Structure formats: C-alpha cells, structure tokens
Amino acid sequence: MFTDSHCHLSFPELQAQLPQIRQAMREAQVDRALCICTTLEEFETVHALATTYDNFWATVGVHPDNEDVTEPSLDDLLRRAALPKVVGIGETGLDYYQMGERKGGRTVADMEWQRERFRVHIRAARQSGKPLIIHTRSASDDTLAILKEEGEGAGLAGRAGGVFHCFTETQAVARAALDLGFYISFSGILTFKNAADLREVAQFVPLDRTLIETDSPYLAPMPYRGKTNNPSYVPYVAQQIAELKKLPVQAIAEATSRNFEQLFTGVLA
C-alpha cells in the first residue's frame, strides 16, 4: 500500500534491527522501500539489501556533504547503475548549509568540488537513463541552475528527471523543480508543528508529482519525533498529505506508490 521512496537501511542503527523493521513495515502496510547510497564505500551494503529482499531497491551515489570518501567518476557510477535492482543515481546535489563558521569559513566559491560532483552524477543519470535523487540545502539556486546547464528540463531529449527528496524549500523552488519535470518528496518534517510553510508547499504540489519518504534513520514524524526513524513510519507522512488535500489516506498511498513506479521504472523490471 505505502512506498518509502528514500531510506538508509544500510546505516548501522537500522541494519542491526532489520528483521524487526521488516516486520513493522508489514504491519504498517509499507510494501516497498528504496535504499539510498551515500558513498561508494557503502554501495555494496546498499546493493546487498536490494538483491536480498524482493521489496527493496537501491541507488548509487555520493552525498554532496560527504568528504574524505572516494570521489566518484562517471565510470564508477555507470558500472554500478547497470547492476540488478539499481534504479536511481544519488543521492546527489548541493549542500551549502555548513559553510562559514561550520566549515572553517568556506564560501560558495569554495564549494566548487560539490558542484563538479553533482555534474558527474547528472551525466551518469542521463547516460544510464536512471533518475536523479536530489539533495539540496541552502543551495536551491545553484542546484536548479546546474540541472538546467546539464540539459535537464521537462520535454528535453535525454533528460534524466528525478526527485527533489526531503523537500524543505519554498513554493517557488517547488514550482521551478516541477517545471523541470521533477517529482517532490516529503518526509516526516511535514508533520512537525513548526512546518506550516512546508505544509502549504505540499498542498501546492500536484498529487501526481508527489512522493513520500522517511529519510530514516532521521526525521521521525510526529508522534515519534526525536526517535530513530524507519520505513514503517512513512504512513504518517501520507496521513498528513491526506489531511492537507482532503483525501482518504489510501488515495495518497496509491498515488505516491504509482508515482514511485513511474519514476523508478526499474522496480517493475
């Protein structure tokens, strides 16, 4: 019934609890989950989850905020993207949140390494024909600009498309992402008391371009905020969207699962 379009089951705190998590997923009617890769070093573990369990899939990518890890080449990404049950490229994108004092006084100019890494992922997505999983934080202008520079846009030949995951940006950014042909995914943040502006964005995004996710082990929804998140909690995100759009939660589950299938066509292979 429900699909978690973005989780990190390879992270130790979830991997150690996998049998219990899978049982909780069954009880919550969460039928599928996409396991997201954040480093090349992690990929084998992520891929093993997908090949071991018939309702898990995998991606390949290096998170924009990860340093001191193997820098992915185009060939690195393409070779792994061709493996069974790998259905997306990412997560990738830009994260400027930890600039300034948090990162030793770095400026936007100092983040060129992130922008180049992002471009490599976009090229891999276009060549492999697999969608992008976009992470953008405090960097939406550059994220959108680079996507356009690399040939992404609704109706353009050879575009990869994809999803802006764990969306926390403004309605204007959502509109720009939609105009480029991307989906928008909402996490447990949508249920937080201080997320009224984000709920307005969720009302704005068409249901046929909406995905739901946990981003677990992070961002557990209310009433579990502050606890370790897992895919069995994704129905709480669906319930919040159902309330916003005045629809039954089953309609949200069906629409977001259908959107997942349409975006990540490899799940049907």
pLDDT digits (tens, 9 = 90+) for 215-263: 999 999 999 999 999 999 999 999 999 999 999 999 999 999 999 999 9
Question: Contact at 8 Å (CB) between 63 and 91?
Answer: yes
At 109 the pLDDT is: 86
Residue 11 lies in a domain: no
Domain assignment present for residue 223? The answer is no
Counting the structural domains of the chain, the total is 1
Checking if the pLDDT of 101 tops 70, the result is no
Task: Tell whether the model's pLDDT for residue 73 goes beyond 80.
Answer: yes
CATH number where 93 lies: 3.20.20.140
Angstrom distance (rounded) from CA 158 to CA 206: 24
The pLDDT value given to residue 108: 84
Q: Which residue range(s) make up the domain with 39?
A: 31-217+231-268
Q: Name the nearest CA neighbour of 216 among 227, 208, 206, 205.
A: 227
Residue 20, domain member (yes or no): no
Q: Is 14 among the domain residues? A: no
Please indicate whether residue 108 or residue 4 has the higher confidence score (pLDDT).
4
Is 164 among the domain residues?
yes
Is position 159 within any domain? yes
Residue 4 placed within a domain? no
pLDDT score of 102 more than 70: no
Residue 38 lies in a domain: yes
